[in-house]
Chains A and B, each alone.
Chain A
Amino acid sequence: MKEEARLMKGNEAFAHAAIRCGADGYFGYPITPQSEVMETLQILKPWETTGMVVLQAESEVSAINMVYAGASCGKMVLTSSSSPGVSLKQEGISYIAAGELPCLILNCMRGGPGLGTIQPSQADYFQSVKGGGHGDYHMIVLAPCSVQEMADFPSLAFELAFKYRNPVLMLTDGVVGQMMEKVVLPEQKPRRTMEEVVKQCPWATTGRMGRGNSNVMTTLELVPEKMEDRNTLLQKKYKLIEENEVRVEEYHLDDAEYAMVAFGSTARICKSACEILRAEGIKVGVLRPITLFPFPKKQISDLAKKVKGFLTVEMSAGQMVEDVRLVVNGAKPVEFYGRQGGMIPTAEEIAESFKAQLLKK
């Protein structure tokens, strides 16, 4: 049966999708602009239908540790928060990455640093793709730009999380979280039975259940030689992810002489800027990384052979632009335009900045 289109916020769609992809548990703590996630889950009462657990924890710290524990049991668990709360979660995320545990984390970014503002931002890019917590690790980072993607990505996120035994972050912002759009929700998948969990995750600490030996989930290894081996394995996995899981959206790039690079809501504004510039006869396209880790290195480096220059646009002081520059490696100019602290760039501003930085040279 085809689901009918509904009108809802990105945060609400995410909550519906979490239930529908068969998640076992959500653990969260209220923070603007993503509180609708837990509010929607509480209204929907999935514990009465699918059996999904929903719990308001005493802090983000506690919530992420609940996710660590749930994931250690092989369960499909998630949490959501916004920038300051995600900072608090970093310790737990480091443990989850070290334990190679599958889970989903949503960061609906707001302006920082500090308590900052509640308005949209993308200034948690570095935190999301470079690590964030202690140690060498990566999350898989998906950047939705629409309410439909907020509904579609949880299922993809869990698929990747279990495939690679790795935490997956959905990195979005207040625009996508708070905006309402048309959305067709995914179909309800059943939650896995305990037998299916044990089969899929033989490492899980489910209680021995006749296994004959005990499973232990620990990230402690006092022998440095062994700890280095663990790290090497992690890096191998990240390389594999980089080889196989890059996702991008290309917009008007076929005939483009210039490319904008932007993710999430900013990419949509760049599309509007692109329309403005094309109306003036300037051939611009947009490359939207859907995965921020793995970063679309090949796509950008191929583009660099074709276009005359890049404009990276972010709601930050310029974070992703560093990765774009690393890939382009000086072959073409890579300029930047950004707004900070909860300010959202307009299409007109972006178009002006593009002309000022790339056409007058």
Chain B
Amino acid sequence: MKREIVIAGFGGQGVLSMGKTLAYAGLLQGKEVTWMPAYGPEQRGGTANVTVIVSDEPISSPLLQKYDIVVVLNQPSMDKFESKVKPGGVLLYDPNGMTRKPERKDIRVFEVPATKTAEEGGQQKVFNMIVLGGLLKIDQVVENEFVMLGLKKSLPERHHHLLPANEAALLKGGEILKEIK
């Protein structure tokens, strides 16, 4: 098993940390992982993206041209990455603020209204966990239990009371996921 994923959006949307959560879960599940950000001032206010590879085998190039799964959280990222989904691959997006829907027909397209759901629930802080929940519902790249174990291990003890909200968000993302056909 090998999944090549890119997550892209505005800086501040938690794109990099979502990728890290995914990669760490993969590591805990005993897989090989790489997390490669497009780093620099781009992160601040502009677009941010991170490439995450989860694999059973050692990973050669941490950088890719085409992806199995593309997650886009704003319009510029949609414009940049729609063409980079491998044929038969997955495009997952949050419709919030999107002015143009994906056009490709040779891929599977999913919508996860995570911004709206997070705002309604007053849960903006777990926005990216909702997105991740959607992603993992489409393709169990890693198991939810390892996502939660990763959060538990990486969050300081004083923040552990936030774990249930994160777990709920992860499940919520799966519930609100919708395939666009």
Q: In the complex, how many angstroms separate the beta carbon of A359 from the nearest chain B beta carbon?
A: 21
**CB distance A118 to B61 under 8 Å?**
no
- Quick check: is A80 within 8 A (CB to CB) of the other chain? no
- The answer, among A118, A182, A272, for a CB contact under 8 Å with B33, is A182
- Quick check: is A268 within 8 A (CB to CB) of the other chain? yes
How many angstroms from the CA of A23 to the CA of B33 in the assembled complex? 29
Which residues in chain B, 55-106, are within 8 Å of chain A measured between CB atoms? 59-65
- Quick check: is B128 within 8 A (CB to CB) of the other chain? no
Which residues of B sit under 8 angstroms from A348, Cβ to Cβ? Answer: 65
Which residues of A sit under 8 angstroms from B37, Cβ to Cβ? Answer: 178
- The answer, among A6, A32, A33, A268, for a CB contact under 8 Å with B62, is A268
How many angstroms from the CA of A344 to the CA of B65 in the assembled complex? 11
Residues on B close to A: CB < 8 A?
20, 23-24, 27, 32-37, 39-41, 59-65
The 5 A-B residue pairs whose C-beta atoms are closest, nearest first, are A271-B60, A180-B35, A272-B61, A269-B61, A272-B60
**CB distance B60 to A182 under 8 Å?**
no
**CB distance A346 to B32 under 8 Å?**
no
Q: In the complex, how many angstroms separate the beta carbon of B29 from the nearest chain A beta carbon?
A: 11
How many angstroms from the CA of A182 to the CA of B65 in the assembled complex? 22
- Quick check: is A119 within 8 A (CB to CB) of the other chain? yes
A118-B39 contact in complex given A175-B63, A269-B61, A348-B65, C-beta closer than 8 Å: yes
How many angstroms from the CA of A269 to the CA of B64 in the assembled complex? 9
How many angstroms from the CA of A89 to the CA of B51 in the assembled complex? 33
18 contacts between A and B (CB under 8 A): A5-B27, A33-B39, A118-B39, A174-B39, A175-B36, A175-B62, A178-B37, A178-B39, A182-B33, A268-B60, A269-B61, A269-B63, A271-B61, A275-B60, A344-B63, A346-B64, A346-B65, A347-B61
Encode A251-281 as 1/0 by CB contact (under 8 A) with B. 0000000000000010011011001000000
Residue of B nearest to A344 (CB): B63
- Quick check: is A181 within 8 A (CB to CB) of the other chain? yes
Residue of B nearest to A347 (CB): B61
Residue of A nearest to B19 (CB): A180
Which residues in chain A, 32-49, are within 8 Å of chain B measured between CB atoms? 32-33
Residue of A nearest to B53 (CB): A181
Which residues of B sit under 8 angstroms from A6, Cβ to Cβ? Answer: 27
- The answer, among A33, A174, A181, A271, for a CB contact under 8 Å with B34, is A181
Which residues in chain A, 332-353, are within 8 Å of chain B measured between CB atoms? 344, 346-348
Which residues in chain A, 144-182, are within 8 Å of chain B measured between CB atoms? 174-175, 178-182
**CB distance A182 to B27 under 8 Å?**
yes
Which residues of B sit under 8 angstroms from A271, Cβ to Cβ? Answer: 60-61
Q: In the complex, how many angstroms separate the beta carbon of B83 from the nearest chain A beta carbon?
A: 14
Residue of A nearest to B63 (CB): A344
**CB distance B35 to A181 under 8 Å?**
yes
How many angstroms from the CA of A33 to the CA of B60 in the assembled complex? 22
Which residues of B sit under 8 angstroms from A180, Cβ to Cβ? Answer: 20, 23, 33-36
How many angstroms from the CA of A186 to the CA of B60 in the assembled complex? 23
Residue of B nearest to A269 (CB): B61
**CB distance A7 to B60 under 8 Å?**
no
Residue of A nearest to B30 (CB): A5
Encode A213-233 as 1/0 by CB contact (under 8 A) with B. 000000000000000000000
**CB distance B35 to A179 under 8 Å?**
yes
Which residues of B sit under 8 angstroms from A346, Cβ to Cβ? Answer: 61, 63-65
Which residues of B sit under 8 angstroms from A174, Cβ to Cβ? Answer: 39
Residue of A nearest to B35 (CB): A180
**CB distance B61 to A7 under 8 Å?**
no
Which residues of B sit under 8 angstroms from A182, Cβ to Cβ? Answer: 27, 32-33
How many angstroms from the CA of A271 to the CA of B36 in the assembled complex? 17
How many angstroms from the CA of A346 to the CA of B61 in the assembled complex? 8
**CB distance A179 to B36 under 8 Å?**
yes
Q: In the complex, how many angstroms separate the beta carbon of B67 from the nearest chain A beta carbon?
A: 12
Residue of B nearest to A174 (CB): B39
How many angstroms from the CA of A346 to the CA of B168 in the assembled complex? 39
Q: In the complex, how many angstroms separate the beta carbon of B108 from the nearest chain A beta carbon?
A: 23
**CB distance A181 to B33 under 8 Å?**
yes
**CB distance B40 to A32 under 8 Å?**
yes
Residue of A nearest to B33 (CB): A182
- The answer, among A7, A32, A118, A275, for a CB contact under 8 Å with B20, is A7
A268-B61 contact in complex given A174-B39, A175-B36, C-beta closer than 8 Å: yes
Known: A7-B20, A265-B62. 12 other contacts (CB 8 A): A6-B27, A175-B62, A178-B37, A178-B39, A179-B36, A179-B62, A180-B20, A180-B35, A181-B34, A182-B32, A269-B60, A275-B60
